[in-house]
Amino acid sequence: MKTLVDKRVLITGAGHGIGREIAVLMAKSGANVCATDVHEEQLEGTADCIRLFGGECRIMVLDVTDPENVRQVRETLTREMGPLEILVNNAGIVKAGGFTDIELEDHLTMFEVNSLGPMILTHAFLPDLINRPESYLINISDAAALTAIPHATTYAASKAAMLSLSESMRAELQDGGNRHVRVLSVCPSLVNSGMLHGAIAPKLTNILDCSELAQQIVYAVRHDHEHLMTPRAIRWLPLAQSMMPKSAFNAFKKWLGVNNSMKTWVGHLDPNVLLDHDDPNSAAQEDTAVMKSSATLTNVTKHVSNT
């Protein structure tokens, strides 16, 4: 997909963080963006970012776990914009802690949003993607999908399910002669989206900026990539796990700090409030870049000019 100009895009979880950055960058690249989220006031902030450079953005409140709501959004979107060409399953939630310390309801909600939500959206919009000359299904998973993450057990499992959905969907589309529908699996390490406030980046990795990740995603789409594992060290994780003895790999993970990365998670950072954190390695330390609309616009303009 060499260009995003006039491509019809729907992005879930676009009220802040990664979803907002993707929405702004794709709109800046000429796409017709529909930003969705369960929080309407946050969607207004995304639309304001896009309007700052003269762009347009349609916003719609959407609960990804509600099939009827998804059906209504699809009908409205198709009627007002036309059939979808790019679906970005980005909406996600996290709650970390000891497995039994987390309420069962929170475990279930994570699976509903992170795993069932993308399945519901894909089931609704896949016929539209298949019927376009070229289209993209983009699933924002997580590096947690690639290996065991203590203190984020259900979150990791839900993202692993999302990754498996992506890989199986790609194989099914290819076997069915629908290679024009590409599937991009995105597995980033810690991102300063506000969801992982207090989490610590393992060794050999760094805290990713939301705008940086959005740029990498758009680059991957423009170059027909099917996998995006970032930062680079993440790409070696599946290989190391498959080649190393289990005990050696577990020791390696412990040395990296993977097993402790979510022990310090303290909650979600309000996307409208800036907080400081004493630990310079904390994801919270990097949140400033995506919390201000003006900073978002500056980053996007810079990234677009470089692509």
The CATH number given to whatever domain includes residue 112 is 3.40.50.720
Question: Could you tell me the sign of the dihedral formed by the alpha carbons of 20, 117, 230, 218, in that order?
Answer: negative
Asked if residues 138 and 184 have their Cβ atoms less than 8 Å apart, the reply is yes
Strands (E), the chain: 8-11, 32-37, 57-61, 86-89, 135-140, 181-188, 227-230
In a domain, 133, yes or no: yes
- The predicted pLDDT at position 277 comes to 28
DSSP assigned state of 113: I
Which structural domain range is residue 223 located in? Answer: 8-192+205-232+292-305
147 within a domain of the structure (yes/no): yes
Count: domains in the chain: 1
Q: How far apart, in whole angstroms, are the C-alpha atoms of residue 64 and residue 296?
A: 25
pLDDT of residue 271: 53
CA 73 to chain centre: 20
Task: Indicate whether 134 pLDDT > 60.
Answer: yes
**Is residue 56 included in any domain, yes or no?**
yes
For the question of residue 155 being annotated catalytic, the response is yes
* 287 inside domain: no
Residue 134 lies in a domain: yes
Residue pair 155/105 in contact by the 8 Å Cβ criterion: no
> What percent of the chain is predicted at pLDDT more than 90?
78
Please give the backbone phi and psi of residue 257, each rounded to the nearest 5 degrees, phi first: 95, 10
pLDDT band at 268 (very low <50, low <70, confident <90, very high): confident
Sign of CA dihedral 268, 10, 208, 166: positive
Q: Does residue 29 sit within a domain?
A: yes
Q: What is the spatial distance between Cα 291 and Cα 286, in angstroms, rounded to a whole number?
A: 10
pLDDT tens across 17-76, in order?
A: 999 999 999 999 999 999 999 999 999 999 999 999 888 899 999 999 999 999 999 999
Q: Which of 12, 117, 126, 155 is catalytic?
A: 155
Task: Identify the weakest region by mean pLDDT among 91-95, 193-197, 244-248, 274-278.
Answer: 274-278
Asked, for residue 259, whether it belongs to a domain, the answer is: no
User: pLDDT value at position 198?
Assistant: 87
Paired tokens of 145: 């999908």
**pLDDT above 60 (res 305):** no
Has residue 227 been placed in a domain?
Answer: yes
